[in-house]
Amino acid sequence: MGITNHHKLLVIGGTGYLGDWVVRLAKQTWEVTATHCTSPAGQHAVTWQRLDVRNGNAVASLVERIAPDVIIHTVAANPGPQPDFEGVNVRGTRQVARAAAHGNAYLIHLSTDVVFDGRQGNYRESAVPHPLTAYGRSKAQAEAAVQTTGGKYLIVRTSLIYGWRPQLDRQTRWILTGLRNQDPPHLFTNELRSPVWVESLAAALLELATLKATGILHIAGAQPLSRYEFGVRLARFHGFDPAPLIPANSRESALNRPPDCTLDCSAARQLLATPLPGVDKVLGLTKFAPHSKLRL
Ligand SMILES: NC(=O)c1ccc[n+]([C@@H]2O[C@H](COP(=O)([O-])OP(=O)(O)OC[C@H]3O[C@@H](n4cnc5c(N)ncnc54)[C@H](OP(=O)(O)O)[C@@H]3O)[C@@H](O)[C@H]2O)c1
């Protein structure tokens, strides 16, 4: 794989968990502009611009000014208190897609495995989205906006993103904080996902930025795990006893959650040189001193 020197990359959402890694890896070989919104500009030595994707004029004028060859759009409103799914995920993505098409930039848009209802599992790219949650619905609408805008795009559906440097991902932090505070979380045994290491996902996105593949691609880790099995591995890796984690079944909760959103990533494995290892491989291969550098 050869990465083109000095081509312009715009990372929308450079302060996010994934965006930070994309910027970190891209700055070696791309001329990178990255955006932040509510957070301060990131630490990496690239050009930072403040951008709220809900402001269509701001999106259009930034893309026009930068004239990027490639845009990687990692912005999302996540489930939480009063998330603006419609404004950020749907309208914001439509505005990014329009600006990319207008500027003739290749757009990589990040989507999610929860566009599926989880009844089938091992979803291929051709499977029809049928989201159960408000977040999933907004991400499915965002995909549709990208597909109907008319530019050159790739929709990358991924799964739970995890990592530990420079900091823990949200889910791991939540699990470990619960264990540390003797308030262990309930983790579903019947909810299967394909967790992906942030560093391999970011590398795969940058490989795709040079390949310029189009359409939809599933990129996730090679090992399907339940949330409980994943939590046990994360706890052990970070030096915690996983025994207090509470196995739970989502069917016994009031939540309507997709049970099996595992992704078939065979197309990505054929296309990419970047490996997409499963959790055991990632956690077994990496050298990491548990406890010592953990900042919860
Ligand atoms: N995390 C997962 O497990 C997971 C799983 C499947 C799919 N995905 C998808 O992968 C992508 C990256 O996820 P992530 O977890 O890395 O995201 P994240 O850490 O939550 O980062 C979100 C980014 O979006 C920016 N942002 C939020 N609202 C914005 C707005 N109105 N205008 C402009 N920027 C805004 C944030 O900027 P500020 O911080 O500066 O406000 C931040 O850079 C998302 O598209 C997500 O849907 C994630």
Q: What is the DSSP string of 10-67?
A: EEETTTSHHHHHHHHHHTTTEEEEEEESSSPPPSSSSEEEE--TT-HHHHHHHHHHH-
Q: Find the domain containing 100 and state its range.
A: 7-168+196-223+263-279
CA nearest ligand 1 atom 15, residue: 17
- Quick check: is 230 in a domain? no
- Quick check: is 13 in a domain? yes
- Quick check: is 187 in a domain? no
Q: How many domains does the chain have?
A: 1
Does residue 295 have a pLDDT over 60?
no
Q: Measured from the CA of 19, which atom of ligand 1 is nearest? A: 16
CA nearest ligand 1 atom 1, residue: 161
81 token code pair: 């208190």
Q: Is the CB of 38 under 6 A from ligand 1?
A: yes
Does residue 67 have a pLDDT over 50?
yes
Average pLDDT (267-289) is 87
Average pLDDT (217-238) is 97
- Quick check: is 231 in a domain? no
- Quick check: is 232 in a domain? no
Select from 11, 17, 170 the residue to mutate for testing ligand 1; criterion: most ligand atoms less than 8 Å from CB: 17
- State the CATH number of the domain containing residue 90: 3.40.50.720
Residues 6+ apart with CB under 8 A from 1: 207, 210, 211, 273
- Quick check: is 177 in a domain? no
For the ranges 59-68, 120-129, 144-153, 245-254, the lowest mean pLDDT is seen at 245-254
Give the whole-angstrom CA distance, residue 75 versus residue 57: 17
